[in-house]
Structure 1
């Protein structure tokens, strides 16, 4: 009975956060933000497999790319980039979980003396430790099978000083995939602040001479990191049937930005544009 109550309690906790999983590890939340008033936060891990799993926790230094995704910082960039890991603490640094078991990992930041205002970020990486299987049925057989390492990382941010943020959608365009009857909504965003943003991008379609608007696409958990001046988001429009009307794109905040409209853009579709898109 106690196990059932605990499972229900854990499920309620997870329902309030964004989730992600690597193979058999459930991670919540998938983004942490610390500041001078709240210098610590927790990440909840849960083993959703039927086997005992072990994971190593460490830091990875990544730079966001304008077209999406990340790359590792170069050695030169490591010297000048605002990295959080230099002043961050993890407890514990390795976990072993039986099936269905959860573990809370505490992440904290220790503010350094004379630390400049700004945003500091590193990525917390969870790496599944391999299981080594040795064939013991034949003593002379020394073949060893090592499982492939799986890893996943989440951004951890520490903000110092006055928090100023903003962004603007500069342009929205469409690319039509006739073979699959899909369209990609390309959204060009420009930074208007010194801090990163996180939210969901939604696209809504309203035909001409209609008051009814329909959501045609969504991109959840889109991060606009502080080192980028410009970035691009792509939202898939399923069941593409374009006609004259208005395509509205809105970037709505989540987590610390919940309830905030970060930016929006209206694209009026004309018959001439339709002919150009379909050609």
Structure 2
């Protein structure tokens, strides 16, 4: 799961005495955040598949309203995200080929709702991959107290932060022949004084499709003993990006010496039916 910050989206001046700023958090690849759970964590339409049922659930103790929309996102080389309005070169949006219902829901505590997602206008699809993100945004309670009286403030101007939580999941349409592959390069192991040892690597993507999978890092001692030292699930490289720089913390144990032996790194795509190894590398340590 990748966290990224969206710029402040709304500013309210209430009776010239209270300034309220709304900040929004996004989570790529879906998960539970702000008492909201969304499954599945991504949707891919390929072949004859034309619809998908999404489940959203309110895990909180209070009723909540969620607004659903389609947004466009750019992935940067370091894996962070930013919202965009125009596609980058080689990028195609899926939003104009998608429809969903409902567009907003109110959920009681522990209540769930099905969101219907469909592909439309398929006759207009050109070969390649199209991507947009379905964004689930929590709407603040209208009864939230926006003003409080501060007797010590002669100006009467106060600032209150109201967090708005959201989850975005990628929705990908693949038309015609699409294929993505990965090669790992620039693998280095270093130690940070505060955060401990970590491995960094460069994902090099090839083809006309995004890739998505789990990274497993194992330490192999000089005696041949293998120990899992890192696991990162749901790592993606989206089109049109050709590279993504990954940094993963490693287990810091006294019986593991990252100056001898070697690291084994595997990048695997998993589905409900099978697993496919997308990339593999072994790196001698020194």
TM range (shorter): 0.7 to 0.9
CA offsets, 1:16-53, max 9 Å, x none?
xx961121111111111112410111211111111111
Q: 1:262 to 1:161 in 2, by over 3 A?
A: same
Shift of 1:179: 3.9
Give 1:119's match in structure 2, choosing from 126, 129, 137: 129
Determine the C-alpha separation between the residues in 2 that align with 1:258 and 1:93: 34
Give ranges in structure 2 of 5+ residues lacking alignment. Answer: 1-28, 146-157
Match of residue 209 from structure 2: 195
RMSD: 2.3
Shift of 1:163: 2.7
Match of residue 78 from structure 2: 67
What SS does structure 2 have at the residue aligned with 1:113? Answer: helix
> Which structure has the higher relative contact order (CA within 8 Å, separation 6+)?
2
1:133 and 2:149 equivalent? Answer: no
Give 2:111's match in structure 1, choosing from 90, 101, 107: 101
Aligned 8 A contact 1:131 1:146 in 2: no
Shift of 1:224: 1.3
Comparing 18-27 and 115-124, the one that deviates more: 18-27
Aligned 8 A contact 1:252 1:258 in 2: no
Q: Identify, as 1 or 2, the structure richer in strand.
A: 2
What SS does structure 2 have at the residue aligned with 1:260? Answer: strand
What SS does structure 2 have at the residue aligned with 1:211? Answer: coil
1:87 and 2:78 equivalent? Answer: no
Shift of 1:81: 3.9
Aligned runs of 1:168-207 on 2, under 5 Å? 168-180=183-195, 182-207=196-221
Match of residue 7 from structure 1: none
Shift of 1:254: 2.3
What SS does structure 1 have at the residue aligned with 2:48? Answer: coil
Determine the C-alpha separation between the residues in 2 that align with 1:179 and 1:51: 39
TM-score scaled to structure 2, two decimals? 0.78
Q: 1:249 to 1:122 in 2, by over 3 A?
A: same
What SS does structure 2 have at the residue aligned with 1:133? Answer: coil
Determine the C-alpha separation between the residues in 1 that align with 2:105 and 2:84: 27
Aligned 8 A contact 2:34 2:166 in 1: no
Give 1:244's match in structure 2, choosing from 237, 253, 260: 260
1:215 and 2:231 equivalent? Answer: no
Q: 1:47 to 1:198 in 2, by over 3 A?
A: same
Give 1:33's match in structure 2, choosing from 41, 44, 65: 44
Shift of 1:132: 1.6
